[in-house]
Every structure is written in structure tokens, then in C-alpha cells.
Amino acid sequence: MKRIRWQGRVALALAMATAVTPAWACTRAVYLGDNGDVITARSMDWKVDVATNLYVLPRGIARTGQAGPKSAAWTARYGSVVATGYDVSTTDGMNEKGLVANLLWLVESEYPQQRGNKPGLAISLWAQYVLDNFGSVAEAVAALEKEPFAIVTDKVPGEDRQATLHLSMSDASGDSAIIEYIGGRQVIHHDRRYQVMTNSPIFDQQLALNAYWKSIGGTVMLPGTNRSADRFARASFYINAIPKAEDPVEALASVFSVIRNVSVPFGITTPGEPNISSTRWRTVADHKRRLYFFESALTPNTFWVDLNKVDFGGQVLKLDLGRDQRNTFSGDALSQFVPSRPFAFLGTDG
């Protein structure tokens, strides 16, 4: 009977995974290596230029939740290096304690319709709230389980549809958590084993799909399409199959290989899947060495920011990546960041 139920779950997840997926189709994977090495990689897939730039955001910045009256309010305990979406949201980043937050699309997301007495938090600030306030996944989960705010979504810039996202977190200990809003309720998946996240279906069903592919064995066959469920299976297999190298250069090379393997070739269109989009950029965060790497699909070089050298008690800094992230950098690009005003998070003042 249990086998029939499990097969039913897999069949349902497979059916949902073949549906047209939204355009923000990304992948996140966490490498757990030797000697405490933890490296988180993500790809950003989007149908148009997502207008990403990099910012250094110092600790001590006072923020509000940008969700109208009775918004959440806090002062950043930790500084962070972040990648923006349209320069109105934090979509990816790492803070000075080595905590990483990634936002990915999840079309099944349903946020609470009623805020009740909870302060509001605009979805554009969700990842930044985590980076500002917490030094570890366990600390973040303990706070977020109490639901200190109500997420308030908004329209995607330039589009007539609401942003539907889920959040992943990872830290220097190798701990991971996935947070989704399903049927208007917050669902938290917290376990070191939750190394991979993509898009649809919801995380429970992604795990069921992954169990199916594990039963086949990745050395026998792996799904090769650009669909979310197939990227999940490939990322899950390869992130654990690559050598647990003690050499950080080799470890980073292996992780970059995995995230490139699950990227969508630039300019590709898929018949019958009009919303599968090209990979625009990739990030790789080395938690142990506090290095944040960025790689654009349209430039020849990978570059990084060494968080050990950042003055997180200083001013806001910006690295302008240009249209389609075409501006070229190499090596540690911290010296090329320039003082800047903070970008304005999408939301409602007052």
C-alpha cells in the first residue's frame, strides 16, 4: 500500500513538472565538501534582462517592510553583498557571517490573504530581511517559525502578474532551509540534506521526484531537459557525485561545473515550453572563505568579491554590471565598487 502511495506521489509530481513553468526558472545547489567546505551555487534564468547589479550593504541600515501601514521595521545587524533584481529587490546574496539567501520562482506560491495583526513585509525585502538579521540557518528558522511578518507580494516590474517566490537559505555549517507559502501558509523545510531547490513543483513533490531518480541511479540515466524537475534531479546527483576536494580551487571548479550543467543555454527557446528561459547569470558563494563569485552569460570572465576585505561598517557601494550584465570584470572586483545611494526596494511607503 505504501508503495502505491509513493508511486502516486511521483506520478502527480511528474505530471505537474511537465506543465508550463514560469519564466524565472532558476536552480540552487549546496556542495558539502571535506574540511568543512560549504559552497552554494545558483543560476538566474529569466526571459529578459533582469537589470541586476551588485551592492555592498553595510550593517546598521534602518529598514521598513515597505508594505504600507504597520510595516515591519528593523536595523541591519549584519552587512551583506547582494545581487538585485531590477534594482528593486534582493534576489541573491551572502552576509558577513556566511549566511546565503536565494529567491527562486514558485508558481504555486499563495501568500496570506489577511495580515491580521502581523507587520507587513514586501516580498522584495524577504531575502534582505534574512541577510540583515541572522547569522545562521538555525537562527533564521527559529525566528521565522514564529511568523513575525506577513509577506505582501507585488507585480513583477514591467509585467501584469504577481511575484510568486520561494526562499532558500544555507550557511557556513552546511545547514539548509527552504521556505514556501502553500495555500496561504508558511511551510519550512529545514535539514542539511536539502541541498537542491529549483522551481515547480512544490518542494515536497521535488523530493518525491528525486527519490524516483535515485532509485534509477544517476550513472544509469538522468533527465536532460530544461524543466525544473529535471534540473533538480541533475543538480542533486552531480552536487553529491563530484569529488570532495580539499583544494578550494578544485572544489569551486566542480561546483561551477554543476551549476553550468543545469543552466539553460543563452538564447534557447523550447517548443511547447515558451516560458523556459535562458540563464542570465550564476553566483557561487564560498561560505568558508567568504567569497561571492558572479558569472554573467554574456561576459568572458568570472569575478568575485572577498567579503573579508569589505568594510561592512562603511557606506553603500555599487558595482554597475550594465545592460544584460555585459560589463566585464575579473579577479576580486571590490576595488571597482563605487559609493552609491541604496537602491529603493519595491513596495509601499507609509
How far does Cα 146 stand from its chain's mean position? 22
- CB within 8 A of 40, min separation 6: which ones? 28, 29, 30, 31, 100, 102, 170, 284, 285, 287
The cell for 78 is 549584519
- Give the span between the Cα atoms of 152 and 119, in whole angstroms: 10
Say whether 26 is catalytic.
yes
The length of the chain in residues reads: 350
Catalytic-role residue among 13, 17, 23, 26: 26
CA separation for the pair 202, 198 (Å, rounded): 9
Nearest to 240 by CA among 27, 32, 21: 32
Of 257, 323, 262, 269, give the one whose Cα is nearest residue 296.
323
β-sheet bridge partners, residue 63: 74
Residue 223 in contact with residue 235, Cβ under 8 Å?
no
Residues labelled catalytic: 26
